Amino acid sequence: MAETERTDDRYSMYNNNAFKLGLFGANCSSGRAITKVPERWSGNWPDNLALARMADEAGIDFLLPIGRWKGYGGETNYQGETYETVTWATGLLAATKRITVFATVHAPLLHPVFAAKQFVTADHISQGRFGLNIVCGWNEGEFKMFGATQRDHEGRYEYGQEWIDVLRLIWQSDEPFDYQGRHLKLEGVCADPKPFGGTQPLIMNAGASPTGQAFAVKNCDALFSTPRGAETIEELADGIQHAKDLAARDGRKLDVYSVGVVTCRPTMEEAKDYHRHCIIDDADWDAVDNILAMKDISPETVGAEMFERRRRHQAHGMGGIPIVGDPDFVVGEITRMASAGLRGIGISFVNYLEELPYFRDEVVPRLERVGLREKRR
């Protein structure tokens, strides 16, 4: 890849694909499918490496990991085995040529001076293909593992603001600087080298609340979101437009990405059968219930009907729009997502390595034909 000084090239992931496709969650065991089926995702390194190389070859735009420190229990201990995401990204960037690889970082758990240096290292190794996905966190148990106190919701973003201010200052300042925030008090901060090619990594914030959106509007190039409770593309569309309007009001451009939980098979029936088999008949319901309990969602708090709805939706992982069907159906749904204003989606499969080839061969060419992807040579 030629050295570039064009930040826009980074944000378009060095290609002209109108709609970006990524893979989300492969750094965790079971990925994003809370299922007991034996072919569920291993999350181990050989599989991650093979997947990254396959995705790179296939022209997939990005890999996006989940920041996870503790499993969710159940028979499978859902997401009990995970790779730390900056080192995961760095290893995969070193082994690939074109694909952008994100780290998903809990701002409160990683000191910004250390973080800025790590990100620049990954960015130089990959010649500008490192991306940052910030999460301010929600899982109390994970914070306790670090001896850290989870701030209240607004406080999390207040800290996140200082964290990203310091990060940007480090990347931009040629002179040592002091920083006096409410939370961070730093002296004589300096760090070289700067990110690759005089540009800065693509930064997105994963958050769904209005405060999370505002944080992305102010600080980030993209918002990675599944607007609360959105289970359909129509529900998603309102949230996307709202975030973009907020950015436009500040004279900024904000890309919005979301999550697609894809089951694609030659026929609608096969896709629906497999989806039902994994996500309902053989779901790891104990893990699902543990996750819901952590969010204080129970029949008592939300009512029996809503609880059952949330339960079924949760088995797809932590949110996301299920896209279940044959290749034409999947392309139709992705086209609707693009029309709703999404810049791209992070896709999850039950088994990424086994399912990506069919998606690559049957869905991607159709997306090229409808103009959402560049024609590949």
Q: Which residues bind ligand FMN (CB under 6 A)?
A: 66-68, 104, 135-139, 156, 206-209, 211-212, 224-226, 259
Say how far apart CA 283 and CA 330 lie, in whole Å.
Answer: 23
In the complex with ligand FMN, the residue whose CB is nearer, 135 or 164, is 135
In the complex with ligand FMN, the residue whose CB is nearer, 37 or 64, is 64
In the complex with ligand FMN, the residue whose CB is nearer, 89 or 189, is 89
Q: CB of 234: closest distance to ligand FMN in angstroms? A: 18
Q: CB of 273: closest distance to ligand FMN in angstroms? A: 28
In the complex with ligand FMN, the residue whose CB is nearer, 209 or 290, is 209
- For 345, phi then psi, to 5°, come to -135, 150
In the complex with ligand FMN, the residue whose CB is nearer, 21 or 271, is 21
Say how far apart CA 295 and CA 92 lie, in whole Å.
Answer: 33
Query: 28: which 2 tokens?
Result: 């965790």
The number of residues in the chain equals: 377
Q: Is 337 within 8 Å of 260 (Cβ atoms)?
A: yes
Residue 206 amino acid letter = A
Q: State the alpha helices, DSSP H only, in the chain.
A: 7-11, 45-58, 85-94, 112-125, 140-145, 153-172, 210-219, 233-249, 268-276, 285-294, 299-302, 304-314, 327-339, 352-358, 364-369
Coil, strand, or helix at residue 335?
helix
Q: CB of 368: closest distance to ligand FMN in angstroms? A: 26
Q: CB of 351: closest distance to ligand FMN in angstroms? A: 20
- For 175, phi then psi, to 5°, come to -110, 150
Q: CB of 297: closest distance to ligand FMN in angstroms? A: 14
Q: Is 320 within 8 Å of 292 (Cβ atoms)?
A: no
In the complex with ligand FMN, the residue whose CB is nearer, 97 or 153, is 153
Say how far apart CA 309 and CA 44 lie, in whole Å.
Answer: 32
Q: CB of 277: closest distance to ligand FMN in angstroms? A: 26
Residue 56 exposure: Cα atoms within 13 Å on the Cβ side: 18
Q: Is 47 within 8 Å of 353 (Cβ atoms)?
A: yes
In the complex with ligand FMN, the residue whose CB is nearer, 84 or 362, is 84
- For 358, phi then psi, to 5°, come to -65, -40
Residue with tokens 């901060």: 189
Say how far apart CA 135 and CA 145 lie, in whole Å.
Answer: 17
Q: CB of 217: closest distance to ligand FMN in angstroms? A: 12
In the complex with ligand FMN, the residue whose CB is nearer, 189 or 256, is 256
In the complex with ligand FMN, the residue whose CB is nearer, 19 or 159, is 159
Q: Which residue is nearest to ligand FMN (CB)?
A: 212
Say how far apart CA 101 and CA 65 lie, in whole Å.
Answer: 8
Say how far apart CA 54 and CA 78 lie, in whole Å.
Answer: 25
Q: CB of 38: closest distance to ligand FMN in angstroms? A: 25
